[in-house]
Amino acid sequence: MVPRPAATVLLLRDDPDGRLQVFLQRRVKGMAFAGGMTVFPGGGVDASDRADGVAWEGPEPGWWADRLRCTTDEAAGFVLAAVRETFEECGVLLADGAAVDAATLAEARDDVAQRRRPFGDVLAGLGLRIRADQLRAWARWITPIVQPRRYDTAFFTAIVPPGQEADAQTTEAVEAAWWTPAAALEAFRDGEIGLMRPTRTILTDISAFPDSAALHAAAPGDAIVSILPMVVEGLSDVLLPGDDGYDLDVASGRAHADGHAPAGGHR
């Protein structure tokens, strides 16, 4: 199964004590992918996620292509999907331009979520340009080859712009809240929430940062190297690059001349 391009955004803010918080959603249990899991907002790249006709401020698609190691069109798709999905799922719009009242924005959000109008058309109609400069590329993960649904997901960080609030008004999540990374990891260890390996790894990585500004500024400066987990029969978790026993040829299926991937299915 060829992975579908997707984008995920680590929405960041600081709590009243100045500590880093990240926005997490618990997905509807019956969803085909990651049902019941607690995740960062995001979703698949849509066919309409194209830079054509979209007013753009900040690094252009070609710059993102170098950072994400992909084509210019693919990079534009990742960035636009990140902005669109954040708007759809959280009500946070990483764009600016003409002043738009709350009721008009709410209507626009519903149009985008229900696929009544392409996101680019909505932005153009409101006189808005996306703020690619508010995003930072953090990581790129590819779903293991044994999974029936696979995604090639670019993870970005973004600080919630002043005057905006993230919410839980999406049909894809049953609840959403701000967490410190440490609290989310503790809830996972206590069995209160489910975390897939990419979410858990990223939460562990960012837990060392004191606040949103420090984390946002620490985004990798070099090109992002994709992470493809390796599934091993009998192990309760996947292996990652750098782990003992990890083999990229096995993880990618190249080590199997008959074309069959290793057995298993753990995330």
- Mean per-residue pLDDT over the chain, rounded: 90
> What letter does residue 229 receive in the DSSP assignment?
-
Q: Is a pLDDT exceeding 90 seen at residue 165?
A: yes
CA 187 → CA 54, 68, 203, distances in Å?
40, 32, 12
Determine the pLDDT at residue 256: 54
Structure token digits, residue 35: 């049902």
What confidence tens digit (pLDDT) does each residue in 197-235 have?
Answer: 999 999 999 999 999 999 999 999 899 999 999 999 878
Dihedral sign of CA atoms 105, 14, 89, 140 in order: positive
Count the residues in the chain: 267
Q: Could you tell me the two tokens for 232?
A: 């091993």
Question: What secondary structure does DSSP assign to 87-116, as a single string?
Answer: HHHH----EEES---HHHHHHHHHHHHTTS
Per-residue pLDDT reduced to its tens digit, 100-126: 999 999 999 999 999 999 999 999 999
Q: Where are the domains of the chain?
A: 4-217, 228-267
Residue found under tokens 């074309």? 259
Percentage of the chain beyond pLDDT 70 is 93
The full DSSP string for 26-68 is EE-TT-TTTTT-EE-SEEEPPTT---TT--EESS-HHHHHHHH
Query: Distance between terminal CA atoms of the chain?
Result: 16
- CA pair distance 205, 215, nearest whole angstrom: 10
Note the pLDDT of residue 266: 29
DSSP-based three-state secondary structure for 252: helix
- Please report the pLDDT score of residue 260 as a whole number: 43
Q: What is the pLDDT of residue 30?
A: 66
- According to CATH, the topology of domain 4-217 is Nucleoside Triphosphate Pyrophosphohydrolase (3.90.79)
Residue 193 tokens read as 């929430």
**What confidence category does residue 53 fall into, taking pLDDT thresholds of 50, 70 and 90?**
confident
pLDDT tens-digit map of 66-82: 999 999 999 999 999 99
φ/ψ (deg, to 5) at 60: -80, 165
